Amino acid sequence: MSDKAKVFITGMGVITPVGNTVGEMWANIKSGVSGIGRITKFDPERVDSKVSGEVKNFDISQYVDQKEARRMALFTQYALAAAKQAWQDAGLADSGTDPERVSVMVGNGIGGTEVDMEAYRVLFERGPGRLSPMMIPKLIANEAAGNISIALNAKGAAHTIVTACASGTDALGVALDMIRSGRADVVVAGGTEATVTEYCVGGFCAMKALSTKYNDTPEKSSRPFDANRDGFVMGEGGAILILESEAHAKARNARVYAELAGYGASGDAYHLTAPDPEASGAIRAIKLALKDAGLAPEDIDYVNAHGTSTPLNDPMETKAVKAVFGEHAFKLKMSSTKSMTGHLLGAAGAVEAVICALAVKEGFYPPTINNENPDPVCDLDVVPNKGVEGAIRAAISTSLGFGGHNGVLVIKAV
């Protein structure tokens, strides 16, 4: 058992391709509903991958007036909406919490890509004198954390973590450490991303990273651990969790979803975009997270895999889980909810942390949909196609990003 101070998850908010509230998202995840479709945010004719997990029916006016919204890039809007949901869910508005003891920690991979695109158009067509004075404040990655801090009157540290696909997970891990160290009582933490633009999709297509085989059947395009997978599917959205010290949560009689019990991180030191095929970095990160949580491998019942549906990631991640868990790897369940949401890049780890917290709380293993022709190399129980009920004592969530950034969380039942 760990002797570290406990940190609880007491509030959650999401904007995702499968729902714009925690309840809606979780119901769709449990039912195996795909949020992936043909790209509608731009005409995809010029890009090879024509599918994405887009946020649907998002109305920022529910959270902030339109004048303020126009001063925010979409990634900031998603984060702010999720943060306001989570703040309300945690019941912190009238809790008397000292604002100087509330920090903000948000992961983001790229920033305001639609702002970038428009700025380049203006620059090339009309010159630098016609650039918007709001261009820089909208596009830089830290603006999500800054806007959340302002909106919630959170006067502690407000930081941004940028570690590609591990950003949301790393933000939660750093937030965990902040509370344990006594630097904050509450941290508003998570991740956000809005990259369904021709600029970003085109860039990832140039890398040959995205799925192109299923343009005519978009809901089939994200298929982690399936032999016919051919790349990841771009997603977008945001997720924010409220983390609290045990003492602070108990003092105000807060409702608790789960305990954020451990965090581990490592660098592959291998390649800018490809994962280490030996999985050494992923293995280290998982082991570090378990050690941080004071848990043995046999204490883990569920792994929410990074599971990107790429040819390289899924076998590597299977290898990592086998290396860490040994024979227990064949007893636990490991699914990839990216099969339904797509890959939300910097927001992925935060969305998946919310899913893990709900899985642990409710005793439900989410499915990996589209697992129609299982890859024999990926031979663990990936909860194929249909979720199942069952007690979960503890879960891990893995995020393995470009640049060799590996982040792993341990989420434990309370």
| Residues involved in catalysis | 165, 306, 343
Tell me which residue of 380, 141, 409, 138 sits closest to 261, measured CA to CA: 409
The continuous run of DSSP H or E covering 333 comes out as strand 333-335
Strand 37-38 relative to strand 158-161: parallel, antiparallel, unpaired? Answer: unpaired
For residue 152, the number of C-alpha atoms closer than 13 Å in the C-beta half-sphere is 41
CA pair distance 294, 272, nearest whole angstrom:
32
- Of 152, 201, 254, nearest in space to 45 by CA: 201
Closest by CA position to 205, among listed 236, 237, 233, 164: 233
In 3D, which of 411, 414, 409, 412 has the Cα closest to residue 167? 409
Q: What is the b/e burial string over 363-398, where b = at least 16 CB atoms within 10 angstroms of the residue's CB?
A: ebbbbbbbbeeebeebebbbbbeebeeeebebbbbb
Query: Exposure of 249 by Cβ count < 10 A (0-12 exposed, 13-18 middle, 19+ buried)?
Result: buried
Token pair recorded at residue 16: 């995702």
Token digits of residue 214 = 């299923």
Q: Is residue 15 packed enough to be buried (19+ CB in 10 Å), middle (13-18) or exposed (0-12)?
A: buried
DSSP H/E element including 149: helix 143-152
- Residue ranges of alpha helices (H) inside 276-394 are 280-293, 313-325, 338-341, 348-362
Nearest to 378 by CA among 287, 311, 295: 311
CB 234 within 8 A of CB 44: no
User: Helix (H) and strand (E) counts for the chain?
Assistant: 13, 14
Q: Is 126 left (phi over 0), alpha (psi -120 to 50) or beta?
A: alpha
- Phi and psi at 32, nearest 5°, equal 75, 35
Instruction: Give the DSSP H/E element, type plus range, for residue 107.
Output: strand 102-108
